[in-house]
A and B are shown apart, each in its own frame.
Chain A
Amino acid sequence: DVKVTQSSRYLVKRTGEKVFLECVQDMDHENMFWYRQDPGLGLRLIYFSYDVKMKEKGDIPEGYSVSREKKERFSLILESASTNQTSMYLCASSSPSGSPHEQYFGPGTRLTVT
C-alpha cells in the first residue's frame, strides 16, 4: 500500500513564525504536490515537484516555498506565517507513468496561525 505521511496532524503557530510542513512518501514517486484546502474553495495547488530539487509554482505560491532534497520527502515552508494561511494542508504524490495517474494523499495538517 502506498503511504504518504505528514509530520503533524495539527499545528498552532504565531504570526511571523517560520513554519515547516513535512511530507514523506514510500512509493518512489517522482511527483509530489502541496495543496491547501479551504471550505468552498476545494483544493488549490501551492507547489509541486517532479523530481529531486525540481519545483514548479502552482496556483497560489505566494507566501510559501518548498524544498525537495530527497525523492521521498517534500517540505512546505511558510517563511513568515500569517493568519490568512490558517488552513488544511494536504500533501500528495503520484507517478508520471501508468494510468490513471492517481494521486495518493496524506492525512493532512490543520494549521492555525494566531
Chain B
Amino acid sequence: GEDVEQSLFLSVREGDSSVINCTYTDSSSTYLYWYKQEPGAGLQLLTYIFSNMDMKQDQRLTVLLNKKDKHLSLRIADTQTGDSAIYFCAEIPPTSGTYKYIFGTGTRLKVLA
C-alpha cells in the first residue's frame, strides 16, 4: 500500500521504555527516519537508519529495522516527560524522486509522571 502506518497514541509512565512502531511502504527505501514534533513546533529529525543496518543505537534511542516485514521501531529508554511529543516515521522511496518523503500518521506519546 501507499500509506506509512503508525498507531495514533501511546501512553507510558516516566522511567519506563516506550516503543513506537511503524510499517512503511517500500522495501528499497534507502533511509528510514524518525522525526519528533514537540507541542507548538515544527518537526525535527530525531534519528535515522540506513537500509543496510538492522539496528542503530543513539543514547536512549534504539531503532530496529526489519526489511523483510517493512517494519521500523523506535525504542526510548527511561522515558522522560520531555519526550512527550508526536513521533513521525518517514521514508523516501526511490520511486518518489527528488527526495520526497512519505510520512506516517504520527504517534502521540504521552508520558505520565
Q: Hey, which bits of chain A sit against chain B, CB under 8 A? A: 4, 31, 33, 35, 40-43, 45, 48, 50, 56, 58, 90, 92, 94, 96, 99-103, 105-108
Contact assessment for B43 and A90 in the assembled complex, using a CB-CB cutoff below 8 Å: yes
Count, A-B residue pairs, CB within 8 A: 57
Q: Please give, as numbers and ranges, the residues of chain A lying within 8 Å of B104 by CB-CB distance.
A: 42
Q: Hey, which bits of chain B sit against chain A, CB under 8 A? A: 4, 6, 8, 31, 33, 40-45, 48, 50, 88, 92, 98-101, 103-106
Q: Please give, as numbers and ranges, the residues of chain A lying within 8 Å of B50 by CB-CB distance.
A: 100
Contact assessment for A106 and B42 in the assembled complex, using a CB-CB cutoff below 8 Å: yes
Q: Please give, as numbers and ranges, the residues of chain B lying within 8 Å of A58 by CB-CB distance.
A: 100
Contact assessment for B31 and A108 in the assembled complex, using a CB-CB cutoff below 8 Å: no
Cα separation A45 to B98 with both chains bound (whole Å): 13
Cα separation A99 to B50 with both chains bound (whole Å): 10
Extra pairs beyond A41-B105, A42-B104, A45-B100 (15, CB < 8 Å): A4-B42, A31-B98, A35-B103, A40-B8, A42-B6, A43-B43, A43-B101, A58-B100, A96-B99, A100-B31, A100-B33, A102-B48, A103-B45, A107-B40, A107-B42
Cα separation A90 to B99 with both chains bound (whole Å): 17
Cα separation A53 to B36 with both chains bound (whole Å): 31
Contact assessment for A105 and B43 in the assembled complex, using a CB-CB cutoff below 8 Å: yes
Q: Which of B6, B44, B100 has the most CB of A within 10 A?
A: B100
Q: Please give, as numbers and ranges, the residues of chain A lying within 8 Å of B92 by CB-CB distance.
A: 101
Q: Give the shortest distance, in Å, between A50 (CB) and chain B (any CB).
A: 5
Cα separation A50 to B96 with both chains bound (whole Å): 13
Contact assessment for B98 and A96 in the assembled complex, using a CB-CB cutoff below 8 Å: yes
Chain B residue at minimal CB-CB distance from A108 = B42
Cα separation A33 to B43 with both chains bound (whole Å): 13
